[in-house]
Structure 1
Amino acid sequence: MKLVRFGKFGSEKPGLIDADGNVRDLSGVVSDIAGDVLGRESLERLRAIDPASLPMAPAGERLGACVGSVGNFIAVGLNYADHAAESGMPVPAEPVLFNKAPSCIGGPDDTILIPRGSERTDWEVELAVVIGSRATYVSEAEALDYVAGYCICNDISERSYQLDRGGQWTKGKGCPTFGPLGPWLVTTDEIDASDLAMSLSVNGERVQHGSTATMVFKVPFLVHYISQFMILEPGDVITTGTPPGVGMGMKPPRFLKTGDRMEVSIDGLGTQRQSVAQG
């Protein structure tokens, strides 16, 4: 099942994608794709609905982030060995965790804004995990039972803020528009996230390509591991790291500028298309 949110920013309605790729309006059934709606029993009820019984969403409506009311937006750093190498950093012995501000979340095709004074705004295609039920001290074997589904995240990063401003990665990761999610939240019954091809293009040039199969720490371990340090609530998002090809790793380095266009894809999870403007 592919779930979406559509409409103006801050006023999105819940929806699902039917077999023909149309957006169907779920607002008569649930208030949002958020919180307890992401639990297993709730998803089973949504799955039982005949999409043809739902009204069509208005044509051409903006797609918002595919999950709403995100509490924790947790990111995993250096989770691909080849990306760690291009960053000049060792592969970590345990997952590197940092926070992205929930206020940076946007729709899959929303404009990316370069922060004021930034000269090193970068891209990162990532698989994001959406939590479906409250998780604390879960085992690795049971971890996927707590996952509602998966989506694409473009983990936009300002490298000088991240690396040169006192060592807190969060500074370069949570600026406005730095967390587009979607287009779809694909539930776990529909996709196996262990080996998905992923790519990112800038102005038509493919700069990143890889597979979730090459993650250092896999999704079940990440959910288990993070749940040892915090309670994960329904609707929380974990974005799981990026393969090589980021601008910082190029020779010479290359960063986003006004007018650039990105296309971000993961097999089975759709494609994001974003333009870049000055914030």
Structure 2
Amino acid sequence: MWTMLPAFSLPQSAYSTVLYFSLMRVFSRLALCGLLFCLTTSFGGCGYVRYLIPLDPKAKTDAPPLTHAAWDGLLKKYVNDQGLVNYKSLQADSLALNAYLQELSAHLPSSSWTETDRLAYWINAYNAFTVQRIIRGYPVKSIKDLGGDKIFVNTPWDQHFIKLADTRYSLNDIEHRIIRKKFDDNRIHVALVCAAMSCPRLRNEAFTGPRLNEQLDSQGRDFVNNPAKNKLTPPDKPQVSSIFNFYPKDFTKNGSTSVQDFINRYATQKIKPDATLNYLTYDWSLNVQQ
């Protein structure tokens, strides 16, 4: 061992060289241990890192965009005008939902699709697989009851239950690695529905490419002006959805300069551009019809 040698046995430069390579061995072992820890804990501890890496799944063949007619029919049948879901009846009709999800799996977006067709696909996929996750565990009081409480590790949004083509994904993969990375449109936050009362209303029609901009603007008006989601008076100190606090930087893109600016794009009761925002407590109870 070099540390046991007498001081006169090696010149100073030799000591430096030995010390350097010894430290490199230590750091290499630490790095290897860290990697093994991440792998053996199934993204535990290091799980958040995967969501920094974009995904861009594409179809291997050039098929036309989906119409999402099957999902549209299910939404019209089981979702009311308030966006509340009849999960019990939908659970009994799960074969129809599964058939639509299999259609999604077999028809990933093609590079020839328009951007609106691709974004409509991913929004519908997120919402439909969220509904599937609920009915698999139904009855349940909250989607949060279907997983752990370690974000990016074992929550319902981190479970890899979504099969598209030959790969399994999580809800967080779809939202953070595909939609938020590939589509510069902050209106997604009023369209993606996490099955909670404080989420945006689950639209009782499917999103489609040709109508997507119209549908997203409609979602924006509905969400911003819903007093259960946002209380816009007094205009200098409104109480707004915690969604705006979850993704503040997203609301400085896509034509908006701030959260206040995004809100005023759709609000019938405008708030002040420099309003102090207070965020409402998020209600995670299930968006279920009573």
Give the structure-2-normalised TM-score: 0.25
* Greater C-alpha radius of gyration: 2
Higher relative CO (Cα under 8 Å, sequence separation at least 6) belongs to 1
More helix by share: 2
More strand by share: 1
